[in-house]
Homo-oligomer: A and B are copies of this chain.
Amino acid sequence: MPQTTPTPASSALEADLRAGTGLLSDPEATTVERLMQAAAHAFADKGFHATTTRDIASGAGLSPAGVYVHFGSKEELLFNLSRTGHESALRQLRAAIAASPAPPGQLASLMARFSEWHVEQYQVARVVQYEHHHLTPEHHAEVLALRKEMDALVRDVLERGVASGEFAIDDVGDTALALLSIVVDVARWYSPTIKRTPAQIGATNAALALRLVGAAEPRRTARLATDTAAPPPDA
């Protein structure tokens, strides 16, 4: 049985600030931070199982054994990344909802900020959205609780908007799921080679959300697609 290191976690606020630092780990960062960055990069790029502990070690500038000074196993590294990532995402959601007094503004702000988070932290976001089922059952359950909280926050905004008459939708659960699909899917299709800025993507998804709940500004002029606007569907 492996001697499990007592699970370091590196200030989650720091993690929010260190946004898109690029391919090679920041040599100024602590070793634990560099390991988490290297793991996020590799897990997002190739997936948990295709990533070797040697990939992570060399990405952080360590020998293969250096990983195990700080993390008891590869799965523990994934868990730390996944947990802090979910917590970071939840913080964004809560802040976005708090930034506006009424459901329509809350929904717009929520979609914009959460989409921007998926773009700016797209490596972490990919791990959060697509790698959590490789966790051990115990760790998976812990992360699932955070995911349910995220879902509940979105549903709550929708329910209050329906109650106030500002939203006109058929079903809160279905609509919440569709809204989250639009955001979560950003982590799948986004690539740094895409030219749209995080703010543009956020604004687009906020506008789409308001349409979906029947709270969009009255009417817009229909406009045919120009080649300048649309992103490629795949990298």
Contacts and interface: CB of A to CB of B under 8 A. Distances in A.
Contacts of A175: 208
B50 A173 contact: no
A220 B168 CA distance: 7
A219 B168 contact: yes
Given A174-B229, A178-B205, A233-B151, A169 B212 contact: no
A14 interface: no
Nearest to A180: B233
A177 B233 contact: yes
Contacts of A231: 173, 177
A204 interface: yes
A174 B230 contact: yes
Number of identical protomers: 2
B173 A229 contact: yes
A131 B148 CA distance: 26
A223 B170 contact: yes
Interface stretch (A54-62, A65-73, A182-190): A182-190
A175 B223 CA distance: 12
Nearest to A173: B230
A214 interface: yes
Interface string A122-146: 0000000110011000000000100
A91 interface: no
A171 B229 contact: yes
Nearest to A131: B47
A1 interface: no
A74 interface: no
A234 interface: yes
Interface stretch (A4-12, A16-24, A25-33, A157-165): A157-165
Given A49-B49, A155-B225, A180-B233, 13 more contacts: A144-B234, A151-B233, A159-B224, A172-B230, A173-B229, A174-B204, A174-B208, A174-B230, A177-B189, A178-B182, A181-B182, A181-B189, A182-B182
